[in-house]
Amino acid sequence: MVLALKYRPKRFEEIIGQDAIVKTLTNSLDKNRLAHAYLFSGLRGAGKTTTARIFAKALQCENGPTSNPCEKCENCVMANENRHIDIIEMDAASNRKIEDIRELIEHTKYKPSVGKYKIFIIDEVHMLTNEAFNALLKTLEEPPEYVKFIMATTDPLKLPATILSRVQHFRFNKIKNSIIENYLIKILAIENVEFDEEALRLIIKSAKGSVRDSLTLLDQAIAFSKGRIDLDSVVEMLGVINPEIINEIFEAVKSGDKKRIKEIIEEIKDYDIESIIDEVIIYLKDALFEGSLPLITVQRFFNIVADVKELIKYNTDNEFVLTLMFFRMTEAMKPHKIDDLIKSFEKKIDIETYKPQKEPKILKKTPEDMFKELIVKIKEKDIDLGVCFETSVKFISFENGVLTWESCPDEMCKEQFKRYFSPVIRPLINEIFGIGTKIEPIRCEKKNEMLEVKKTEKRESSILQDKSEEVINKVREIFGSDVKIEKIVHK
Ligand SMILES: Nc1ncnc2c1ncn2[C@@H]1O[C@H](COP(=O)(O)OP(=O)(O)OP(=O)(O)O)[C@@H](O)[C@H]1O
Ligand SMILES: [Mg+2]
Ligand SMILES: [Zn+2]
């Protein structure tokens, strides 16, 4: 037996999620303030027919009308077995003509045979033809006192106003997922079936507030999954998109990973686009309530979804719509990214200001300045060594990590250099010009420093006289392009 029939409530207290309706009906039974005609409208599988039958039994019970029928008397037993002679169920979908209603009206003329009332339950009442409605009107307004009508419909808007104004109307709501969940968990415990919560939630979500649909899907899932109801089998059975995929795609959106977004779209593009968008909306609602996305982002995303929903109307292909939606969301994340960037810049600047400013200074310095600094630092370590260095070593160039100098030390300085080059001078060169700086010393030919200088100048003047482009370029390469070659004085 299918679950929906096996677990069809027999008593008011077993009806779930329709508390207000149950309360009003039980009160009216207990106070004996009954209407002639009732209309139960609302979602399919939310308890209309079930409630109508329980209400009919509650009227017919020997102790009735009572909200607490005895379940033992002949009336209760027959009602529970759906064979009470004075409870007449009619399906208006297949008996919609005026003749059908005329027959029904004939019935109302005979008193109940065993029960207190003659009760007509007319299901799908909106299916009746206009003539049938008109034929029903008079009886509905002034039925014999032993007659009760309970009409049910999923579509009350299709009923003529003349009917609506003659009935007491109860609107059956969608039932909350959490209420259905608790209900199904109880049933699964009785049925001794194991399940994963996610799988159950997915079933309930697909049933969209209908208890019957939830139970029907649960039946299928039990048959489908053999043993334990798990998410994978339910996903497969329902042909729905796995909610985990939606989480994944939003992770990709958050990290701006368009490649991953495309991969996921490739996986899901064959699903019904509307159901994908439903999932997206559910994700965004959760994110909003959980605070896992900033309000402004959720708002932007909802706007994007609304735009995309428009597109679907034009029959655009799914892949395009999905790509557009998720790429736009990725773009919509960007303002936050820019904020992050600004923050990271601020951090960098912070680090810069607190750092010893060696490197940036060096960068701005000319090689000549660096050479002067080297002299100063050597002097700081050892004044004699520094003076030797200053008087006998002349800076030539510093290019591509090669420091070229000309050195003409006297014997004493030569001695100093030998001893202190490695422990003092080399580390300072590393510090100022960079580790790995190569040193290219040009040997001094003359002992006399002054002579040497003169010679250099002569050499420069001859270069000038030569005026060969090539040589000038070479000079510029060494001394820098703004070197003023014309101003060199010949001695
Ligand atoms: N509120 C409810 N509480 C408990 N079970 C319910 C409820 N509503 C529906 N069901 C379950 O769903 C089955 C169908 O319910 P019912 O026939 O009352 O729905 P309905 O509202 O008349 O639907 P329809 O509009 O399709 O006729 C029931 O047998 C019962 O198992
Ligand atoms: Mg029904
Ligand atoms: Zn009874």
pLDDT digits (tens, 9 = 90+) for 4-28: 999 999 999 999 999 999 999 999 9
What pTM did the predictor assign? 0.63
C-alpha span between 46 and 431 (Å, rounded): 83
Q: Is the pLDDT of residue 112 over 50?
A: yes
Amino acid letter for position 338: I
- Using the mean position of ligand 2's atoms as its centre, give its distance from the Cα of residue 40 in Å: 9
- 466 pLDDT above the threshold of 60: no
pLDDT at residue 361, rounded to an integer: 42
Task: Give a yes or no: residue 227 inside a domain.
Answer: yes
Overall residue count recorded for the chain in this entry: 491
Asked if 177 and 204 count as a contact pair (C-beta separation under 8 A), the reply is yes
Pick the more confident residue, 371 or 489.
371
Q: Would you state the pLDDT for residue 111?
A: 94
188 in a structural domain: yes
In short, whether 55's Cβ falls inside 6 Å of ligand 1 is no
Cα separation, 336 vs 383, in Å, equals: 58
Distance 1 CA to ligand 2 centre (A): 18
Give the CATH number, domain containing residue 89: 3.40.50.300
Distances (CA, A) of 372 to 8, 278, 375, 410, 444: 98, 73, 5, 21, 20
Domain boundary, last residue among 220, 238, 256: 238
Please answer whether residues 420 and 412 qualify as being in contact, where contact means their C-beta atoms are separated by less than 8 angstroms: no
Query: Residue 458: pLDDT above 70?
Result: no
Environment class of 271 (CB within 10 Å of its CB; exposed 0-12, middle 13-18, buried 19+) = middle
Q: Ligand 3 centroid to 72 CA: how many Å? A: 5
126 lines ligand 1 (CB under 6 A): no
Identify which of 211, 213, 216, 218 to mutate to test ligand 1's pocket (most ligand atoms within 8 A of the CB): 211
Query: The tokens 């101003």 sit on which residue?
Result: 487
Between 61 and 386, the higher pLDDT residue: 61
CATH of the domain at 470: 3.30.300.180
Residue-level pLDDT at 341:
61
Burial class, 436, CB count within 10 angstroms (exposed 0-12 / middle 13-18 / buried 19+): exposed
Answer yes or no: is the C-beta of 44 below 6 A from any ligand 1 atom: yes
Q: Is residue 274 part of a domain?
A: yes
Please report, for the domain that includes residue 339, its CATH number: 1.20.272
pLDDT at 29: 96
Does residue 7's CB lie within 6 angstroms of at least one atom of ligand 1?
A: yes
For residues 57 and 36, state if they share a domain: yes
Residue 359, pLDDT score: 45
Q: For 382-477, where are the E strands, in sequence order? A: 393-399, 402-407, 438-443
Beta bridge partners of 194: 228
Query: Could you tell me if residue 106 is inside a domain?
Result: yes
Give all strands of the β-sheet with 168-172 in edge-to-edge order: 87-91, 118-123, 147-153, 37-42, 168-172
Residue 64 near residue 95 (C-beta atoms within 8 A): no
Mean pLDDT of 338-363: 54
Residue-wise pLDDT for 137-191, tens only, equals 989 988 999 999 999 999 999 999 999 999 999 999 999 999 999 999 999 999 9
**Number of structural domains the chain divides into:** 4
The verdict on 69 and 129 lying in the same domain is: yes
Spacing, Cα 384 to ligand 2 middle (Å): 110
The closest alpha carbon to 305, from 275, 277, 331, 271, belongs to 277
Q: What is the pLDDT of residues 400-446, one digit of tens each?
A: 889 999 988 888 888 888 888 888 888 889 888 888 888 888 887 65
Place 45 in a pLDDT band, splitting at 50, 70 and 90: very high
Q: Phi/psi of residue 394, each to 5°?
A: -115, 130
| CATH code, domain carrying 214 | 1.10.8.60
> Which of 16, 51, 212 to mutate to test ligand 1, by most ligand atoms within 8 A of the CB atom?
212
Same domain? 12 vs 158: yes
Decide which of 125, 151, 172 is a domain's last residue. Answer: 172
Q: Is 407 within 8 Å of 444 (Cβ atoms)? A: yes
Domain presence at residue 355: no
**Distance from residue 123's CA to the centre of ligand 2 (Å):** 6
Q: If you average pLDDT over residues 323-343, what whole number do you get?
A: 78
Using the predicted structure, report yes or no on whether residue 326 has a pLDDT greater than 80.
Answer: yes
Span 67-71, mean pLDDT?
96
Identify which ligand lies nearest to the alpha carbon of 73.
Answer: 3
pLDDT at residue 364, rounded to an integer: 67
Per-residue model confidence (pLDDT) at position 483 = 58
Residue 128 CA to ligand 1 center (angstroms) comes to 22
Q: Is the CB of 15 under 6 A from ligand 1?
A: yes
In which element (H, E) is residue 172 found? strand 168-172
Q: 164 with 189, same domain?
A: no
pLDDT at position 387 over 60: yes
Is residue 38 within 8 A of residue 78, CB to CB? The reply is no
- The pLDDT score that the predictor gives to residue 380 is 83
Q: Is 217 in the pocket of ligand 1 (CB under 6 A)?
A: no
Ligand 1 pocket mutation pick from 41, 50, 121 by most atoms within 8 angstroms of CB: 50
Q: How far apart are CA 351 and CA 357, in angstroms?
A: 11
Q: Is the CB of 17 under 6 A from ligand 1?
A: yes
Q: What is the mean pLDDT of the chain?
A: 86
Report the DSSP beta bridge partners of residue 153. Answer: 41
SS3 89: strand
Spatial CB neighbours of 287, under 8 Å, sequence gap ≥ 6: 250, 293, 298
Please tell me the number of Cα atoms within 13 Å of 124 on its side-chain side. Answer: 10
Tell me if 256 CB under 6 Å of ligand 1.
no
Same domain, 372 and 448: yes
Provide the CA 352 distance to its chain's centre, in angstroms: 38
CB 152 within 8 A of CB 45: no
pLDDT reported for residue 301: 93
Does 75 score more than 70 pLDDT?
yes
Residue 10 and residue 154 in one domain:
yes
With respect to residue 443, please indicate whether it lies within any of the assigned structural domains: yes
Is pLDDT at 362 greater than 50 in this prediction? Answer: no
The last residue of a domain, from among 186, 204, 238: 238
**Helix and strand tally (H, E) in the chain?**
23, 10
* Strand 393-399 with 402-407, pairing: antiparallel
Q: With pLDDT > 90 as the criterion, what percentage of the chain qualifies?
A: 57
**Tokens read off for 50:** 């079930």
Q: Do 320 and 394 fall within a single domain?
A: no
- Pair (164, 181) in one structural domain: no
The yes-or-no verdict on residue 242 having pLDDT over 80 is yes
In the prediction, which pLDDT does 473 show? 64
Determine the structural domain holding residue 160 and report its residue range: 3-172
C-alpha to C-alpha distance for 227 and 238, rounded to whole angstroms: 18
- Residue 68: band (very low, low, confident or very high) from pLDDT cuts 50, 70, 90: very high
Q: Ligand 2 centre from 41 Cα, in Å? A: 10
User: Cβ–Cβ contacts within 10 Å for residue 465, how many?
Assistant: 9
pLDDT at 331 over 80: yes
The number of the ligand nearest the C-alpha atom of 65 reads 3
pLDDT above 50 for 360: no
**Does the C-beta of 118 come closer than 6 Å to ligand 1?**
no
Q: Are residues 192 and 119 in the same domain?
A: no
CB 37 within 8 A of CB 204: no
Q: Does residue 166 sit in the same domain as residue 72? A: yes
3-state secondary structure of 177: helix
- What are residue 89's DSSP bridge partners? 121
Cα 62 to ligand 1 centroid, rounded to whole Å: 26
What is the per-residue pLDDT for 400? 87
Rounded CA-CA distance 114/78 in Å is 10
The mean per-residue pLDDT over the stretch 190-216 comes to: 94
Q: CA-CA distances (angstroms) from residue 366 to 213, 283, 372, 387?
A: 82, 60, 10, 22
Q: What is the DSSP string of 352-416?
A: HHHS--HHHHHHHS-HHHHHHHHHHHHHHH-HHHHHHHHHHEEEEEEETTEEEEEE---HHHHHH
- Asked if 424 and 281 sit in the same domain, the reply is no
Greater confidence (234 vs 361) lies with: 234
- Please report whether residue 19 resides in a domain: yes
* Residue 402 and residue 417 in one domain: yes
Decide if 320 is inside a domain: yes
Q: What is the pLDDT of residue 488?
A: 43
**pLDDT tens-digit map of 263-299:** 999 988 888 888 889 889 989 999 999 888 889 899 9
